[in-house]
Amino acid sequence: MPFPLTGRRAGVTALMAALLATLSACGSDGEGSAAPKTGLTVLAASSLTDVFTTAGAAYEKEHPGTEVTFSFAGSQELAAQVGQGAPADVLVTADTRTMDGLTADTGEPVVIARNRLVIVTGEGNPEKVGSLADLADPALHVVLAAPEVPVGRYGKQILDAQGIDVKPVSQEPNVRAVLSKVALGEADAGLVYRTDAVTGEVDAIDIPDAQNAIASYPAAALKSSGNSKAAASFVSWLSTPGAQEILRAAGFQKP
């Protein structure tokens, strides 16, 4: 005849039962046996920071087996990373010139969006900037992107075309740095992409089409990718109606 369980024996038995129940639950929820996700690293121009964060979440929802990680920087910095063999799968730049310099490292690029420049000032436009010509005022503190940065090159192109001589107080490594300087009041005005202007506490002044430049954003899979199929899939997805809708909502123009 078995003896009744009392006191310490009963406590130990209850604890063991609880542990077994926990282990059984863990084994039945599927987490332990779930297939690992495919990691996808995307190097993308700084001006894509906000929209790609949204696009990445949408892509993961449509492709639950893939986890997307973004690394944002100026296009010239991204090109240097690719040249140095940084582990990544996809590259998206803010100009075709940078992408064209990496033909040995990428697949066939596809333009996924376009953009244009605007003048940004502090909120309320305290210096009353109204046009590109106003940026030549020596009393105005203007900040531009460095000429090796796509937005800096576009800015130089449109200023030179109008014969406007601007002496910037600083030249920044990417468009977000320009935006930040103006938003923080460290500069009176700057040139950024239209899509960046809506993300900061700044005022934007449109530049007439005849005086402006159009920025193209090509995307390409990297030949060094360890996930070439997933990389190609992501690049193709960027041209789908769903992805294009996300880009349009953020202010980017059609490819």
| Confidence check: pLDDT of 248 > 50 | yes
Contact 194, 205 (CB under 8 A): no
Q: How is residue 4 written in tokens? A: 């009744």
Mean pLDDT of 52-73: 97
Mean pLDDT of 84-112: 97
| Confidence check: pLDDT of 2 > 80 | no
- Phi, psi angle pair for 182, to nearest 5°: -70, -45
Which residues are CB-contacts of 55 (< 8 A; sequence separation ≥ 6)? 238, 243, 246, 247
Distance CA 113, CA 93 (A): 11
Q: How is residue 199 written in tokens? A: 């993300």
Mean pLDDT of the residues in the chain: 89
- Supply the pLDDT for residue 6: 40
| Confidence check: pLDDT of 14 > 50 | no
| Confidence check: pLDDT of 27 > 50 | no
Q: Band the pLDDT of 19: cuts 50, 70, 90.
A: very low
Report which secondary-structure segment, H or E, holds 203.
Answer: strand 202-206
Mean pLDDT of 144-152: 96
Q: Is 106 helix (H, G, I), strand (E, B) or coil?
A: strand
Mean pLDDT of 15-41: 55
| Confidence check: pLDDT of 160 > 50 | yes
Domains and CATH numbers, the chain: 38-114+216-249 (3.40.190.10), 115-214 (3.40.190.10)
Contact 181, 103 (CB under 8 A): no
- Supply the pLDDT for residue 171: 98
Q: Band the pLDDT of 36: cuts 50, 70, 90.
A: confident
Distance CA 194, CA 196 (A): 5
| Confidence check: pLDDT of 72 > 80 | yes
Q: Which residue has the higher pLDDT, 32 or 206?
A: 206
| Confidence check: pLDDT of 33 > 80 | no
* Sign of the Cα pseudo-torsion (127, 196, 44, 75, in order): negative
Q: Is 82 helix (H, G, I), strand (E, B) or coil?
A: helix
Contact 143, 168 (CB under 8 A): yes
Specify the pTM: 0.84
Share of the chain above pLDDT 90, in %: 85
For tokens 């038995």, what's the residue?
13
